[in-house]
Amino acid sequence: MSDGSRYTCDDCGTGFRTSEATRTRTMGGLDPDAWQTLCCPACGVRVKTVFVGLD
């Protein structure tokens, strides 16, 4: 999967790429092997849930 996506934290305004995000398991019962939540590396707020199931 492409690692070129950029995100901006709505909470603190920090911009980061997928590879820089703190990753956690999703909260909604989704398969943790297929879905991960990207969190702001600065403040830890959840920013985006992404599909990572296909390498």
Q: Which residues bind Zn ion (CB under 5 A)?
A: 9, 11-12, 14, 40, 42-43, 45
Shortest Å, Cβ 46 to Zn ion = 10
CB closer to Zn ion out of 1 and 12: 12
Contact 16, 4 (CB under 8 A): no
Residue 51 buriedness (CB in 10 A; 0-12 / 13-18 / 19+): exposed
Shortest Å, Cβ 2 to Zn ion = 22
Shortest Å, Cβ 45 to Zn ion = 5
β-bridge mates for residue 46, sequence order: 39
